Structure 1
Amino acid sequence: MKIFRRFAWILWVLLGLAVGYLIPTLQRPPLLLQQDAVVSAVAPQTYTSTFNKDLGGYIDIQPKTEVKSLLIFYPGGLVRPQAYEWLGVALSPLGIRTIIPMFPFDLAVTDQNRAEKLLDAIKPEVPVLMGGHSLGGAMVSSFLADHPGKASGLILMAAYPPNGKDLSRQKLPVLTLAAEKDGLASMSDIDNSLKLLPPSTQKVVIEGSVHAFFGRYGPQQGDGLPTVSRDVAEQKILSAITAFVQQTLGN
């Protein structure tokens, strides 16, 4: 009887720990637009940012001028999509429309083919870029490995293709951004992944930056310590992406 009670107590403790771990994952924070997406160089009246509930839901950031290209961007794991709204706002002066899908439990692994559904619905008449941060970058890479020709360029942020997903033979311009102080996607991880990407892949190191500086969602457990401010890191990120887009699409 004592053994049974002890076993039951241990079981309840483990169950409590599991529930405590799972609740924050299952109950995601609310999606709030324009709460942390201000970019000082971009006037609010020059773009629109809306949430569309179709196709699982997505944030749609559009310049009010001519749309020259479309970017579909997958968020990092357990990161709310609005953490990357700043990126869409910052890219809008280039004529880029940015779509940031919302995934179940904020995990792109639950629907890595979402990009295809979005393309089928939107039917863009402009060049398409795809990108993602961390797990989102891995999943969008996996999608493009299985669906070559769906994008005119790929932007990876602290991310790389999963094992078995080889894009090295595709004629796909790729920009891979690595954070110098990243504690989650190390420089060696990024370097080792280059064999899975086209030989023309451009690697840019964001000096002093960390994994969490690619999105506006606060510090992340296991990450490194930055030696630059978030603002400086974001400027370097945008500079690298702007150069890549202009080189790739001529925007």
Structure 2
Amino acid sequence: MGNKTLRLTCLVLGLMAGLLGFGTLGYRLTEGWPWLDGLYMTVITIATVGFSEVRPLSLHGRVFTMVLIFAGLIVVSLIGTYCARLVIDAGISNVLGGRCMSRQIARLKAHYVVCGFGRIGSIVCDQLHRAAVDFVIIEKDQACVQAAEQEGYLVVRGDATSDAILRQAGIERARGVIAVLNSDADNLFISLAAREINPAIKIIARGEEPGIENRLVRAGADVVVSPLKLGGLQIARIVLEGHQDAREDLYAVVRQATGGI
């Protein structure tokens, strides 16, 4: 929940609670009613449901009821205005933010296109960001898109297997594409499309299934990385060789597999 949404929620709840408290206390003071009767009368007055009065009202009670009706109308109008402003501001922000991001992507050259912002993609992006390497993420899951945007990354929302989405991420000008989707078939398709659009691009693809490496290479991938295989190699080195610097060894393997990006 954003700060504006949180403030609006607190404001709405505060206004409603204040109005209910004002009405209940007013009937308590003007009519001497029990708290529950005063609250009930306040609710049906604000809601304008047209129910009969809980008890006969005195002159002071009728005057107070008119004041409560006007106060209720004002509060409801304020809440409606704030809600409308929040919706409009959010829409304008999304439009302007989308245009600004599109302009930033259009200015990029020799960048990397990261297809997928899942567990592996997020780690890749973190390392690229730390190394000050320009990149654009393609992701279709809204939760992942929001997570990437919160990190300040450039994101294109859409299906990475679509040529139009790849072009939107500037793949014609990119140095490389990193396909780390959960589906080997999708990563294979991205490799084919990327090689067709930009024959000189470097393609790094994730592969999980046995035998997929050769197919990814034939599809155009320069490097095929298996996270399971890398993890297995790391564990084996720890067990068999007793390397204390096993973590550095793994990083060296990853850098070698990805061409030192």
Give 1 or 2 for the bigger CA radius of gyration: 2
TM above 0.5? no
Compute the TM-score of the two structures, normalised by the length of structure 2.
0.37
Higher strand share: 1
Higher helix share: 2
Greater relative contact order: 1 or 2 (C-alpha under 8 angstroms, separation 6 or more)?
A: 1
